[in-house]
Chain A
Amino acid sequence: GNSVTQMEGPVTLSEEAFLTINCTYTATGYPSLFWYVQYPGEGLQLLLKATKADDKGSNKGFEATYRKETTSFHLEKGSVQVSDSAVYFCALSSGNTPLVFGKGTRLSVIA
């Protein structure tokens, strides 16, 4: 079945540091890949998505590239801010299957 593995947190970075959160997946067919973010006390917000191989999703300075050959969708940001502190979830959906999420990575950015 479909599954997502993302790096365990927590991740603590200083402001303006480079961020990478690794995500790899196993899926049948051609999945769509997503990154969602959850701020404290809130629901999930879509951060970015990619629907086919080599697509790059980007939003608010975050980027992720759909790599079919390595079955990966790593999240990157060149310079994090304190306001980026949140939990980040990698997810996939294939065909008519529901979203499958990774366990989440908690990011703390300190000034």
Chain B
Amino acid sequence: KAGVTQTPRYLIKTRGQQVTLSCSPISGHRSVSWYQQTPGQGLQFLFEYFSETQRNKGNFPGRFSGRQFSNSRSEMNVSTLELGDSALYLCASSLVSTGQETQYFGPGTRLLVL
């Protein structure tokens, strides 16, 4: 089975722009979660989608949004980019949305905001 894929792998943007990141989960997985990883804050949860519905949301401003499509693929969008948004954005998928399910991570999208 193919793993979780994320596109693009690297991205450079300037302050004020917006960006859309894409995640394709493992086939059959219906839950997709997004995390932001920075050296200072570590791994922080952004949001989780299950069957096209947002199930959980982390403590991030409204500039961060996401959605999930009927084929379980997910996108996250960051509007009005700030320098502090530079990070590795990780997507993870699991079969269903429960705490005991293992989440499988993609390679991440590294975003640099100049």
Chain A interface residues (CB < 8 Å from chain B): 31-32, 34, 36, 42-46, 49, 51, 89, 93-104
Q: List 18 A-B contacts (CB under 8 A).
A: A32-B99, A43-B90, A43-B105, A44-B105, A46-B103, A51-B100, A94-B99, A95-B98, A96-B56, A96-B98, A97-B99, A98-B33, A98-B48, A98-B58, A99-B33, A99-B35, A99-B103, A102-B42
Contact B55 A96 (CB under 8 A): yes
User: How far, in angstroms, from A49 to B100 measured CA to CA in the complex?
Assistant: 9
How many residue pairs link A and B with beta carbons under 8 A? The number is 53
Contact B102 A96 (CB under 8 A): no
Does B108 interact with chain A (Cβ within 8 Å)? Answer: yes
Does B64 interact with chain A (Cβ within 8 Å)? Answer: no
Pick from A31, A36, A43: contact of B99, CB under 8 Å: A31
User: How far, in angstroms, from A97 to B103 measured CA to CA in the complex?
Assistant: 13
The main secondary structure of chain A at its interface with chain B is loop
Which 10 A-B pairs rank lowest in CB-CB distance, beginning with the nearest? A93-B99, A44-B105, A101-B43, A43-B105, A98-B45, A43-B107, A32-B100, A103-B42, A43-B108, A98-B56
Pick from B4, B45, B102: contact of A49, CB under 8 Å: B102
Contact B42 A43 (CB under 8 A): no
Contact A95 B99 (CB under 8 A): yes
Chain B interface residues (CB < 8 Å from chain A): 4, 6, 33, 35, 42-43, 45, 48, 55-56, 58, 90, 92, 97-100, 102-108
| Complex: chain A residue closest to B88, CB-CB | A43
| Complex: chain A residue closest to B104, CB-CB | A46
A45-B105 CB under 8 A given contacts A94-B99, A96-B56: yes
| Complex: chain A residue closest to B41, CB-CB | A103
User: How far, in angstroms, from A32 to B98 measured CA to CA in the complex?
Assistant: 10
Contact A46 B99 (CB under 8 A): no
User: How far, in angstroms, from A99 to B36 measured CA to CA in the complex?
Assistant: 12
Residues of A within 8 A of B98 (CB): 95-96
Residues of B within 8 A of A31 (CB): 99
Tell me how far the C-beta of A74 lies from the nearest C-beta in chain B, rounded to whole angstroms: 19
